[in-house]
Each structure stands twice: as structure tokens, then as C-alpha cells.
Amino acid sequence: MSQSEPKHVYYFDNNATTRVAPEVVDAMIPFLRDFWGNPSSAYAFGAQVHGHVEKAREQVAALINADPKEVVFTSCGTESNNSAINSALFMNPGKKHVITTKVEHSANINFGEFLQKKGYDVTYLPVESDGSLDVHLLEKSIRPDTAIVSVMMANNETGVIFPIAEIAAICRSKGVLCHTDAVQVPGKLKIDVKELGVDFLSLSAHKLHAPKGVGMLYIKRRTKFQPYLIGGHQERGRRGGTESVANIVAFGRAADLAVASLHDENTRVRALRDRLENFILTNIPNTVRNGNKEHRLPNTANIAFDFVEAEAILLLLDGLGICASSGSACTTGSLAPSHVLMAMGLPPMRARGSVRFSLGIYNTEEEVDYLIKHLPGLIQRLRDISPLNPEHPDNETYDIEAAREKHETDLAEAKREEETVAA
């Protein structure tokens, strides 16, 4: 790759990953260049590094109002999710059932499928057409052999927020462990593990302006835990492997910044997102917001552009230096429409025409102006040549109302089935 000065990137994909904050780069560099000792070593050169890992643990704990001892550093959000579910099953050998949702990140969906192959039973709860979750259904799905309920705090594709405190209270009342994947949340919403009442919570540093390759699992005090990575005594025996010191220090600094940026995300970034979304919905015909308008992250807009393929939109946007995405970065390359939008009952063609714009603290008014200037013409150009367009001679229209009705029927059927199983 060329080392020349990069072109300006109009980055609207902050749910995929975020730019490493300059303050975070400054904080981590000494641990790459000068203080590269092993934090487990007994001599001073290692011990001083250990002190910085512990300081980062305090910073990350403060972000979620946890005790530093409850914080275990991992390599990523995926590892944190897998570790929590794995531990719940290992520590409760008589319990073979896991509850999650159909709209989780592939870190949960694919792990669930792996567990099913190993003989476990996994319930993937359906969602309503606005992406919200029926908590009553969740409660009914809990069985005597349920080991853990794992529900994300906010969805990475639509930004829709789930009521984790309510879910955790249900789990407690039924003696079931509760995990939440809060990877998309830091800096956007306050996270307080005591208010949430969860047993496990996952974070990933690269979503909050720190580098990739480090994550965290919160494990509530006194929760029995089986390490997922078995090795040395690092992380108080809860995760083997030499700590990625520079990344952990970076995570700590980013945690401080995330607390400080909560206000900006909820005022300026929210206003930018709303401006972009309102512009699209009012100026580009046949566009629809996917997901509940109110209960969602302040930075995310997921919009369906009917009669065009999102991949074509993204390609043309890329040519203009604009980054956005359709679905999760982890499913890029798959031709299937987003599993999240499909679970919300969107017709496949509408799901295939949906684009996620996720903003962040480095976005400016000028960048939104640039996107707004180019988007309507770009969509029109694609619609002019799209056989999905009703005005195109080779039109293949689809019936959105019929698809919505089908989702309602399927959802009612799924709920009836769950309730029958639970009864």
C-alpha cells in the first residue's frame, strides 16, 4: 500500500470501526517503542508496564461503572461474547439451552449455530417490524434448562436499543445468567452495569476510537467463570495469553474519551444524523427508515432505497470517497440480504437496497453537505437503469404490503410456537 498522504475520506461507517483518536495514538506509542516489557515479569521493567495495564483497567471499569476486578481484557468483542456464553454452559452442565435474538451480530448467531451442532438448543427470538423485542416473549422462552440469555444492547445495523435492565431483571428472577453485547454503545449511551444488572457485558475497543485487537468482558463479582482461552495466569486466571499492553493502554485512554464525548454524540452527532436522514426521506422518493425512530443510537441511520441495490449505491459512493455500508462489515461479501432486516420482515429486495450511515465525533457539517449533494443524483442514475424500478420497461416490482403482512403472520406464528414450547 502506498504511504502517500491519504485522500480525505468521508467516513459514515463508524459502526464498522472508528478512527483511532490522536490522543489514543499518543497514549499507546510509548508502549510500542519504550516500555515493551511483559507485564507478568517480576523485574521493574515488566512491573511498571503492569501498572499501566491496571490503570487502563480502572479507566475501562469507570466507563461502565464496574469494579476494575470485574474487567477482563480480551482480543475483541467476538471473543467476549463467545467467552460469556461458553462459560455459562460449562458452569451449568445440566443446562443446554441458550436464548438470543435473530438480530445479533454474527459473533452470537454463528456461535449459536456452532453450539447447536454440538447438541445445545438455541432459541433465536424474533423481532417486531421496527426491530424491537417483545420482552414478554423472551420471558416465556426461558426454560428450566436455560443457562444464559444473551441480547445485544444496541443493534449495529439499525441502532435499535433493547431494554437490557428489564431483560436482566427477568433473568435474575428466573435464576438465569444474562449477557449483553454492548459493543456499539460506548460514547453513545451511558453504560452502568449496576443499573443494568447484567452478569456479563462485552465491549470492543475499535468501536470507540482505539485500535482493533482488544476487547473486554465484564464479569460481575462472584459469577463463576470458565476461561475460554486456557493458558497462563493473566487476567486473574480468567484469560490466558500475554496482555496486548499498547492496545490495552489505548483502550483505557479511549474509555476516558468516550465518557467525555457522550454529550457531543447526543447533541451535535445526533443533529447531523437527523439532518442527513430527514434530507433523504424528504428529498429522495421511495426511501424508508429501517428501525424504530426513537429507541435507537444517536449516530445510526439505516435507509432503504427502493428499486436499487445497496451494493451499487456503495460502489458509486466509494468512487466519491464516501464510506457507508449495507449490514455489518463482518457479513460483507455474502450475497444474502441482511439477517437483521430480514428478521424485521423487510422484503428481500428492500433489504438489499438498504444502506447504513453511521456517524461519529469526527464527522462535520461539510461532510454531510457533500453526501447530501451527491446522493439524490446518484440514486436517480441507478434507478434509471434498474429493472426493479416500476418505470423501467423490464420492471420486476414487488409487493411491500404483502411482505409486511407476511411478516406479521410469521411473527404471530413464531410467538404462538414459542409460547406452546414454553407452556
What is the set of active-site residues? 330
Q: Determine contact, residues 195/335, Cβ cutoff 8 Å.
A: no
Using the minimum distance from each CB to ligand PLP, give the nearer residue, 241 or 376.
241
Reference 175, options 199, 193, 152; nearest CA is 199
Region binding ligand PLP by CB under 6 A among candidate stretches 38-46, 178-186, 275-283, 301-309: 178-186
Q: Please report how close the Cβ of residue 305 comes to ligand PLP at its closest, in angstroms.
A: 23
Handedness of CA 315, 320, 323, 327 (dihedral sign): negative
Q: Which of residues 190-219 bind ligand PLP (CB under 6 A)?
A: 204, 215
146 φ/ψ angles, rounded to the nearest 5 degrees: -80, 125
Q: Please report how close the Cβ of residue 369 comes to ligand PLP at its closest, in angstroms.
A: 28
Q: Binding of ligand PLP at residue 152 (CB under 6 A)?
A: yes
Q: Please report how close the Cβ of residue 183 comes to ligand PLP at its closest, in angstroms.
A: 4
Using the minimum distance from each CB to ligand PLP, give the nearer residue, 359 or 382.
359
Q: Determine contact, residues 210/251, Cβ cutoff 8 Å.
A: yes
Using the minimum distance from each CB to ligand PLP, give the nearer residue, 78 or 363.
78
Nearest residue to the partner ligand PLP, using Cβ: 77
CA distances for 331 relative to 118, 339, 354, 373, angstroms: 23, 10, 14, 29
Q: Compute the C-alpha angle 166/135/167, nearest 5°.
A: 30
Pairing of strands 287-289, 300-305: antiparallel
Strand segments (E) across 199-272 = 200-204, 215-219
Residues in contact with ligand PLP, shown as a per-residue x/- string from 75 to 94 under the rule CB under 6 A: -xxx----------------
| Total chain residues near ligand PLP (CB under 6 A) | 14
Cell numbers of 299, please? 449516530
Among 92, 146, 184, 247, binds ligand PLP (CB under 6 A): 184
Using the minimum distance from each CB to ligand PLP, give the nearer residue, 152 or 344.
152
Q: Determine contact, residues 172/35, Cβ cutoff 8 Å.
A: no
Q: Please report how close the Cβ of residue 17 comes to ligand PLP at its closest, in angstroms.
A: 8
Q: Binding of ligand PLP at residue 156 (CB under 6 A)?
A: yes
Q: Please report how close the Cβ of residue 208 comes to ligand PLP at its closest, in angstroms.
A: 11
Handedness of CA 169, 171, 177, 179 (dihedral sign): negative
d(CA 31, CA 375): 43
- Residues near ligand PLP (CB under 6 A) are 76-78, 105, 107, 152, 156, 181, 183-184, 204, 215, 328, 330
